[in-house]
Amino acid sequence: MTSPTTRSLEVDFFRGIVLLIIAVDHITGSVLSRFTLHQYAFCDSAEVFVFLGGYASAAAFTALATRRSDSAARRRFFKRSWEIYRAYLFTAFLMLIGGALLMALKVDTPMVQYTEWPNFLERPFGLTVDIALLRQQPYLSAVLPMYSVFALAVPVIVPLAQKKPVVAMFGSLLVWLAAMPLLRFLPGTYGEAWSFNPFAWQLMFMTGILARVQPISGEFHAGRIARWLTAGAIGVALTFAFYKLFLETQAPPGYMKQNLATLRIVSFAAIAWVVARGVHAGWVGQLARKLPGIVTIGQQGLVCFIAGTCVSLVLDSALRAMGVLGLGRYPSHWILGLIADGIAIVSLLGLARFWANRKATKAARAKGVERQTPPRLPVIEGRPVPVHAGSRRER
């Protein structure tokens, strides 16, 4: 998509779209969620987000290693892992607060149980320790521990993917095959504590890394094999869409998503290849330049993810409350659902712009301070001594 040391506009654009989809998909009365990926494919925004996370992580690591050093890149990702863990704790805290408010307002919703608030009332200290140790992960915060683990692994797997891509790919496949038995070694008070098995989902993360450090050449895109692959991918995607829309009678079991089932991988791969062709043709870049607000959301990913979880929880609960009060036929009242979608999208667009401006202001101030700070003078006997060009002998 881009050179190894530049940020990808298309990736930021897709990340922005996925963050918006994650927000609306968790609003049960949402209208837009009826048209998102999970409705016509056996994958959803989670696969896209993890794949893009691997791509962006590889881009950031290689760029920092090129500009500075490998050790600086490693330190940055160790720090990034800690940042994600703190974001997980903050999101878990917000989920508990949300559960407390729902209970106080007497809103009849299963979200109260998902937030772990009733469990917190029974054993506040024990649950706090379990959350900190990743043994229990409240609603919508559960994806962040996986990302924290992946950030720790980036300094190892990105250089491996650069030097030995075949080893990296087959090693990732072997870990994915052993993911279900390996799950029991993760901290957890029950089998479903980790909604995303990191031993399985690392395959999607590694695929994103390889897509960045071992990009498909323009010559391959122009060849006959690429056209055959495109035709096959479109056929697979349409077949899955037909089954989802007209034949499926019940949702797939949760363990298929938790352990990244083969069907989900095939579904994602078909769609990803078609999208990659659009990126290569330049269509996605043109669209991204026309929608800079979505790109900004993608650039402020962690903040917008946390905000999206809170917004979706609040709006979902509000729709349920209005349905209980007779203000709408929840969840079929599409007007209320569409209003909720609009609030979620506008909220994330506004937050992303605010946060980007805030970061730009801080960076500008830091540069200004550096320019205004006078150079340090040598000190002799406790007093600064000015050094002039003509006094080199004294030095």
Is the sign of the CA dihedral 353, 356, 362, 367 positive or negative? negative
**Cis check: omega of the bond before 110, within 30 degrees of 0:** no
On average, the pLDDT of the chain sits at 88
Residue of 42, 52, 64 lying closest to 205 (CA atoms): 52
- Cα→Cα distances 234→76, 114, 239, 263, Å: 39, 37, 9, 16
pLDDT value at position 371?
61
The Cα–Cα gap between 102 and 314 comes to: 9
Main-chain phi, psi angles of 383, to 5 degrees = -120, 135
Measured CA angle at 142 (ends 156, 158), to 5 deg: 15
Domain locations in the chain? Answer: 20-363
**Are the C-beta atoms of residues 143 and 196 closer than 8 Å to each other?**
yes
pLDDT (0 to 100) of residue 201: 98
The pLDDT value given to residue 298: 96
d(CA 160, CA 169) in angstroms, rounded, equals 10
301-329: average pLDDT:
80
- Measuring CA to CA, which residue among 13, 96, 29 is closest to residue 342? 29
Residue 383: strand pairing partners: 380
Residue among 336, 312, 270 nearest 40 (CA): 270
E strand map for the chain: 379-380, 383-384
**Residue range 342-371, pLDDT digits in tens:** 999 999 999 999 999 999 999 888 777 656
* Structure-block tokens of residue 389: 């060009």
| Distance separating alpha carbons of residues 218 and 201, to the nearest angstrom | 29
Overall residue count recorded for the chain in this entry: 395
- CA–CA distance, 23 with 346 (Å, rounded to integer): 11
pLDDT tens by residue, 185-230: 888 756 567 889 999 999 999 999 999 999 999 999 999 999 999 9
Average pLDDT over residues 71-96: 95
Query: In this model, does residue 98 exceed pLDDT 50?
Result: yes
- Rounded CA separation 186/316 (Å): 31
- How big is the chain by its Cα radius of gyration, in Å? 24
Q: What is the mean pLDDT of residues 22-39?
A: 92
Distance (Å, whole) CA 100 – CA 322: 19
Contact of 28 with 319, CB cutoff 8 Å:
yes
- Mean pLDDT over 17-32 rounds to 93
Beta bridge partners of 379: 384
pLDDT at res. 85: 97
- The single residue listed with the structure tokens 């202001």 is 361
Angle at 299 between CA 211 and CA 369, to 5 degrees: 125
pLDDT of residue 6: 61
Contact between 151 and 80 under an 8 Å Cβ cutoff? The reply is: yes
**Distance separating the N- and C-terminal Cα atoms of the chain:** 53
CA 64 from centroid of its chain's CA atoms? 20
Backbone angles phi, psi at 379, to 5 degrees: -115, 125
Residue 126 has pLDDT above 80, yes or no: yes
| pLDDT, tens digit, 9 for 90 and up, residues 141-192 | 989 999 999 999 999 999 999 999 999 999 999 999 999 999 888 887 565 6
Helix (H) or strand (E) holding 226: helix 224-242
CB contact at 8 A, 21 and 36: yes
Mean pLDDT of 336-347: 94
